[in-house]
């Protein structure tokens, strides 16, 4: 009996030790690897540190789609590795350098790599300027080609630089050995906010109250910035008006039916379910409240 108790005690100690090892060692964010880039690890701790630098609501969006932030992290690692591979070193600081311009050593190296790679500006021909001019003429106030040629030339040059940079990064990404732990990535992903349904919209349209429908998307930053405002409005007009949020990517049929072209688009309906006003883009809380009152929500 005494021997059995001793054995049981040993087993319990081993189990406790194993659990401690699991939770405090293996589950330590600093040891959980999300990805490896050419053998260099990106840990959950590093990922979370970068995530904390992002402001809301973009932070919440990245939590729901962590792959987006991780891809940026991966690309930065690849660029930094390439800079070191080419033997690039940061420039010597002088008294002219200010604290406002201070960058991390890694950012400086990546910047130097880009400057070296794209030291020669892309060539812009007169034919390219002439070809683009008709498309921009109205926006440029109808000014002559001679007046706006330098501006168009700079625009084309910047477009070419962006395209060259995009192609360069794609080539580096393709040649790099990247391993992503998709299972771990899925585990840390947050669930996105729920959208109202088509059935809820139909019910609200026949509910006898003024209705505001936000046709937007969880992946749209202005839409997410609008959500807290809509929650406040819904609270202020509880029992007087209905506020719905429809994700058009989830309900594409509704997006076509209501001819949604801009995200977000706020569509107001009166108490009979008839559309009375729409605003492509965001509105302030006061503007939304004024419209709801105008359509009978204040009475």
Residues 6+ apart with CB under 8 A from 143: 137
Q: How far is CA 166 from CA 75, 162, 169, in A?
A: 11, 6, 5
Is residue 223 among the annotated active site residues? Answer: yes
Strand arrangement of the beta sheet that strand 40-43 belongs to: 40-43, 33-37, 178-180
Q: How do residues 219-260 score in pLDDT, each as one tens digit? A: 999 999 999 999 999 999 999 999 999 999 999 999 999 999
**pLDDT tops 80 at residue 261:** yes
More confident residue, 36 or 94: 36
Catalytically annotated residue among 110, 152, 156, 223: 223
Return the SS3 of 149.
Answer: helix
Catalytically annotated residue among 159, 176, 220, 234: 220
* Whole-angstrom distance, CA of residue 82 vs CA of residue 88: 9
Residue 169 tokens, joined: 């990064």
Radius of gyration over alpha carbons of the chain, in Å? Answer: 28
Instruction: Give the number of other Cβ atoms within 10 Å of residue 70's Cβ.
Output: 21
pLDDT category at 282 given cuts 50, 70, 90 is very high
Mean pLDDT of the chain: 88
Q: What average pLDDT does range 168-190 have in this prediction?
A: 96
Strand arrangement of the beta sheet that strand 242-247 belongs to: 242-247, 211-216, 265-269, 275-280
What pLDDT, on a 0 to 100 scale, did the predictor assign at position 239? Answer: 93
pLDDT category at 191 given cuts 50, 70, 90 is very high
Q: Which residue has the tokens 């979370």?
A: 48
Q: What average pLDDT does range 7-22 have in this prediction?
A: 47
* Whole-angstrom distance, CA of residue 10 vs CA of residue 7: 5
pLDDT category at 23 given cuts 50, 70, 90 is very low
């Amino acid at each position: 009996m005494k021997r059995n108790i001793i054995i049981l005690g040993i087993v319990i100690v081993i189990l406790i030790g194993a659990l401690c090892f699991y939770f405090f060692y293996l589950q330590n964010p600093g040891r959980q690897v999300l990805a490896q880039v050419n053998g260099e690890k990106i840990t959950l701790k590093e990922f979370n540190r970068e995530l904390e630098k992002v402001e809301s609501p973009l932070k919440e969006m990245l939590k729901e789609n962590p792959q987006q932030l991780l891809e940026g992290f991966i690309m930065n690692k690849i660029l930094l590795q390439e800079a070191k591979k080419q033997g690039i070193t940061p420039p010597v600081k002088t008294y002219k350098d200010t604290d406002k311009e201070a960058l991390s050593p890694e950012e400086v190296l990546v910047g130097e790599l880009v400057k070296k790679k794209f030291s020669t500006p892309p060539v812009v021909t007169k034919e390219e300027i002439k070809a683009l001019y008709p498309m921009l003429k109205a926006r440029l106030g109808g000014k002559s080609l001679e007046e706006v040629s330098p501006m168009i030339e700079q625009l084309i040059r910047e477009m070419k630089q962006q395209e060259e940079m995009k192609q360069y990064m794609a080539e580096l990404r393709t040649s790099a050995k990247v391993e992503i732990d998709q299972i771990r990535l899925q585990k840390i992903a947050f669930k996105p906010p729920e959208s109202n349904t088509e059935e809820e919209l139909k019910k609200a349209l026949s509910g006898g109250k003024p209705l505001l429908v936000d046709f937007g998307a969880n992946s749209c930053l202005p839409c997410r910035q609008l959500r807290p405002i809509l929650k406040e409005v819904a609270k202020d007009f509880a029992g007087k008006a209905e506020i719905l949020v429809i994700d058009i990517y989830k309900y594409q049929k509704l997006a076509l039916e209501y001819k949604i072209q801009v995200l977000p688009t706020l569509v107001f309906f009166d108490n009979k379910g008839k559309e009375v006003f729409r605003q492509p883009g965001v509105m302030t809380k006061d503007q939304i409240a004024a419209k709801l009152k105008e359509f009978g929500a204040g009475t």
